[in-house]
Amino acid sequence: MTNPLLADWDTPFDLPPFDAISDDDYPPALDIALDRHSEEIAAIVANEAEPDFENTIAALEASGEALDKVLSAFFAVAGADATPRRQELQRAFSPKLAKHFADISANPALFAKVKSVWDRRDTLNLDAQDARQLFLVHRGYVRAGAALSGEEAERMKAIKERLAVLGTAFTQNLLKDESDWVMELTEEDLEGLPDFLIDAARAAGTEMGRDGPVVTLSRSLIVPFLQFSPRRELRETAWKAWTARGAFGGETDNRAIAAEVLALRQERAELLGYGNFAQYKLETEMAGTPEAVRNLLLQVWEPAKAQALADQDVLSAMAAKDGVNGPIEGWDWRYYSDKRRRAEHDLDEAAIKPYFQLENMIAAAFDCANRLFGLEFREVTVPTYHPDVRTWEVTRDGAHVAVFVGDYFARGTKRSGAWCSAIRSQAVRPRSQAPVVVNVCNFAKPPKERAALLSYDDARTLFHEFGHALHQMLSDVRWEGVSGTSVARDFVELPSQLFEHWLEVPEVLEKFALHVDTGKAMPKAMLDKVLGAATYDMGFQTVEYIASALVDLEFHDSAPTPDPMAKQAAVLNELGMPSAIAMRHATPQFAHVFSGDGYSSGYYSYMWSEVMDADAFAAFEEAGGAFDPAIAKSLEDNILSKGGSVEAADLYTRFRGRLPGVEALLKGRGLAA
């Protein structure tokens, strides 16, 4: 019987046949796919013809099709529905995959062919896209260590394999802490909580097999609990657990893993001739250097800290009236901040939330995509990896564009956070393929008889991830390696953060922010308050983010530390971190940085992109409004369709005529002087 992962997929849109795939299919399929890929690489090396673009660069891109199929199916489920068996498989696969790709990047005969093509690039008459592909392939091999030899080459391979093991362990430890911790609530503990939160707590209890409501470490549950619970001792228990994830001690403790990762990254950078890992990592980003990153972050840090400290004084005075002696603590901030927002802005999130139905916010995102880019969405029934997963075909003018997959609800087997990935990325060569894009979120799942309601922040998350999806869906490039979101890390957040702005467009909310019970639009007075409070508590939000970004940068722009927690504390102390605010991601739970190299030295990229997204949305406002067709077309033509086929700074300059300064960001966050 043919393994379904390796067979031709006779499914709608050539999607993985998840209904036919068992977990036991993955190991043998991976082994076969790895062997096939190795054979394809060997054939490229054995080709006796003079190396050229087609027989080397294009051939490399064409190799590994079977492996791509196996991994696209596996990684779709590994993060979003990580059963114990799938976690076991991921632990087994990580070093195997790392070794496989390290062997390829360290193959001297293969690199000699790539270098031969690179050295003759000016004689090959390549067009812009092929020239870019050659540049990126050659640079990728050099940065992977292909020019190393002997003991250095072997050590580089060992480092990569060990980092893969550590990244998987870090992620799985964090997931276990998040899925295992629970705080049971009595009926008395529910007093003062809004109905939507009580419903979510009861649903979480049912999912975990408990007799009553619970609080878990799912962000969609614990954050509103910290915001609304009047029981200070319960808030303290919940907050301390939330901020200690990955550092509970025992087998799931991530602190030693973080220390080893930092040491290995430094060694890797030194093998390649760099002073530290930040210099290595940032070389290919828009920022270019650690100094440029630090300069941006500190420009925003000072006004943000000043605002946060002023807010801390106000909240402490409010808490004092409730008998809290001294400054407020971390478990008090969200509670008193929500009280203050209700008092100063007459804005109660419990009253707002019924207007943000998940179903309507999905429809709002689709409607904006239609008005901006002409995309249409039709829900379809296809095999999925979990019953909660939904799928839409995306078309334009009747032609198939993409498949969009939405996986919105939190569950114990899903890692925290929200992300966008691609089961298949757009490409023309080596084979023409339309993208299959997945958005994964962690919204609280309601009881069956209730509609799913989102906070305003949840709705922003939905729009953010859908912005990434648009970047994938509208990609129109030749090579998969530069397709969609395959861009500089500090550019990749531009489309996602830019799309968040459409949630703030009044006509969008007037059409889709409809009350769950009455179906009536949000009253204009409430709408004005929601939009008017968009920058409320921005000192807190900016400080918790920049603190994480600066700790990440300092970890990688200096000698590795055997005690990351001490280093973290030293960085925060030097910054003058407000006492009642914690880093958004403390080191033992900083999956962006320690589950893989993706955002290492790169957590700043959200803010780097925000400088551009604030300026980019201003282009719409300066023209005909949020749905100006000429600006939308320019955005698609110059940014969304181009992926990484052109340098990011050049793409943005084509769109806007210049690169932006930090002023628009400060204004957008309400932090401008």
**Residue numbers annotated as active site:** 465
For residues 502 and 513, the answer to whether their CB atoms sit within 8 Å is: no
Please, where are the H alpha helices in 146-254? 150-180, 195-207, 219-228, 232-243
Q: How far apart are alpha carbons 46 and 512 in whole angstroms? A: 60
Backbone torsion region of residue 433, taken as left when φ is above 0, otherwise alpha when ψ lies between -120 and 50, otherwise beta: beta
Pick the closest to residue 646 from 286, 114, 402 (CA basis): 286
Backbone φ, ψ for residue 481 (5° rounding): -65, -20
Asked if residue 607 lies in contact with residue 546, where contact means CB atoms within 8 angstroms, the answer is yes
- By residue count, the chain amounts to 673
Cα distance between residue 269 and residue 281, in whole Å? 9
CB atoms within 10 A of CB 291: 12
Q: Which residues have C-beta within 8 Å of that of residue 150, sequence separation ≥ 6?
A: none
Q: What one-character DSSP code corresponds to residue 521?
A: B
Q: Give, rounded to a whole angstrom, the gap between the first and last alpha carbons of the chain.
A: 69
What's the one-letter identity of residue 196? F
Chain Cα centroid distance, residue 90: 20
Q: Is residue 332 a contact partner of residue 532, using CB atoms and an 8 Å limit? A: no
In angstroms, the Cα distances linking 97 to 33, 169, 324, 349 are 11, 15, 54, 46
What the block records as the tokens of 299 is: 């420009």
Between β-strands 436-443 and 399-409, what pairing exists: parallel, antiparallel or unpaired?
A: parallel
The contacts of residue 274 (CB under 8 Å, 6+ apart) are 280, 283
374, 629 contact by CB (below 8 A): no
What percentage of the chain's residues is helix, strand, coil (to nearest 5)?
60, 10, 30
Residue 380 in tokens: 């379809």
- Give the HSE-up count for residue 256: Cα atoms under 13 Å, Cβ half-sphere: 8
Contact 331, 238 (CB under 8 A): yes
Phi, psi of 399 (to 5 degrees): -95, 140
**Phi, psi at 130, each rounded to 5°:** -70, -35
Q: How far apart are CA 315 and CA 321, in angstroms?
A: 10
Angle at 186 between CA 185 and CA 189, to 5 degrees: 75
- The answer to whether 605 touches 648, Cβ cutoff 8 Å, is no
Residues paired with 101 in a beta bridge: none
d(CA 127, CA 129): 6
Q: Find the helix packing angle between 128-144 and 84-105, rounded to 10°.
A: 100
Alpha helix segments (H runs only) across 374-416: none
The H or E element containing residue 439 is: strand 436-443
Distance of alpha carbon 306 from alpha carbon 303, whole angstroms: 5
Of 298, 310, 299, 307, whose CA–CA distance to 671 is shortest? Answer: 307
The DSSP H or E segment spanning 363 is helix 358-373
